[in-house]
Structure 1
């Protein structure tokens, strides 16, 4: 009788579990195996007791499985709420302001790099000239070796003479103690007069200087042109505050007359006419602090950079580009045009009082009237892109189209036709 009950129990368990196996997968198969073993081992127990235990075990397995499924599955309206949140994020997002964006582009052709690793601690780099004093040191809490500028004066890297019109300069700089907010601070001296390189405070004409002062948390710009008025400006610099952050990275970008300067990827300076002279500039670091302190310098990278094309709109009043591309015989802007559009939007964001006229031009393929209409539509499409995607006020933008009426060449071949398919921005 006991054996019969055991067999019945076994068959019943198989039937129950098999019915559920498509839901439970391997977990239920294991449960079935264990139920079989339990039936064999507990043959002496009453049928009701064994069945109850088997049933309870299966229920517990499904409770755990269902609980997991429930937590993994979307709750009612959960998916729609998530999608709604994504839509809200898209609708409320605004174009990034250029002055809060790190748009620095390091030059590719490296002219000079120094991290002082080749030098012994206590040495002074032979590639530098100075009227002060300094030495190579290790700094607590910082990796690598640093040039410690221990006294006020100039530190001139011999490999940074006769600066090119387009270059980038990157370096890390730090200070060991609060020097108070007196005296100019840590300086970047760009000068056309080599006699000025050894100076730290009083300069003659033909010089442009940036002072970074961690004691005052400020950046100062001084421009002394050969002709014209001297320019002085002070800019807050919370990124380098000796009480909060003693070490920063500085990135400098020259494009002809323009200077951009970034501290820890925050743009502090953007002056279109910082380099006022037509002759070449030389360069020196200098320190001018009131209290005794040590200023540290390392990872100096100096490289040739590309020319600033977008600045032509501001400095020359006109910018022409073949980089805004359209589908054939259409005003649909191609995705690869995004770089030029973003640069132009940034220029307009940085110069909020400037208005422009956008003029479209086509090649000579097709009828004159059709090309005129197409050029007008393309100019309007560029305006829409600047307004819709980058937040430029449409009232600042006028549009026009000239069709094929103002060719730059004879439209004799595909290359010449590509040059004539252009967009022109005119400063109003």
Structure 2
């Protein structure tokens, strides 16, 4: 009997392997049928006991596979664009949660966009003509990440020509990533704000009138260096778990906000730096990215957005009757509102709460990419998503809001460059 049971178990194992591509019920049936045939019904109750145990194990295998499938990450942005209507519904639910969950994120993206680049127009292997460098880099695609990225392959400075003579109130946003072993030596990924134009190509030994933020994913920390023309230098180190290769947080979004002398830096949606006297000089600052890593690694950059802060939301809507914003952002080809839109939505909700008799029409606009009809439908859905967010999460009466979409029919410019297209992707509030 013992030999028979052993043989039966071996047969069951072979059958599970050969039938692994079939559904669970078929695997169970084949295993039972073939075992009974080979055993010629000789094992009676003992065989049935073994089969029942094997059946339970096979069921557990399929349960584990199902559970694993549920825990797999969501598809990339490119795949989401091709997904079904059910997936779009899931995106809308995610949008609502994200907007509500991040409504306390106090970063306010600038309204007047001066520069935007996602490098989409460039061929892989090229280097953007709008950047100057004393190092090297190229445009690449990254597995698991959407869009194109500027890979900074060597230590040195990367100077965006369109981010010069910084205004007193601006925002700078970008996505950054790293692959490799950077170690915690050297400075890291730098943001160089300097009044000395000759310092833009430097990695170290900066002149007076320079203030620097270092983001180091090898150490999981941010550090500051402020070198005023008059007074003592200031340095500090701050923990930064949001971008830390030691915990596999290889990619992050960085948001920088200047208000005269004050600098705030956010990594993802967490405020890392808030220094009231970071910009110490009265003259104009220029800007450069730079990388300074000891280990062998590559730094990636994309979705660079530089803007001047616009007029106060409440003033524009109430006094002028119209407010237009690029600060409500959506996933590509989707009405899914991005988390960083929470601040603008909260300000608009506050405006409507403080002016309970005011009614508004919310109008969505897109860029010219894609078919006209699809863009029209998308703009209408985005306007409706904004209305839903204001009603669901901020308690604004839905009857006070109408929605409409204009698609690409009312462009602000020629819609030819990434910056122009970003300006056309906007949401408009009209006082009724």
Q: Which of the two has higher C-alpha Rg?
A: 1
TM-score by length of 1: 0.49
- Which structure has more relative contact order (CA 8 Å, sep 6+)? It is 2
TM-score by length of 2: 0.48
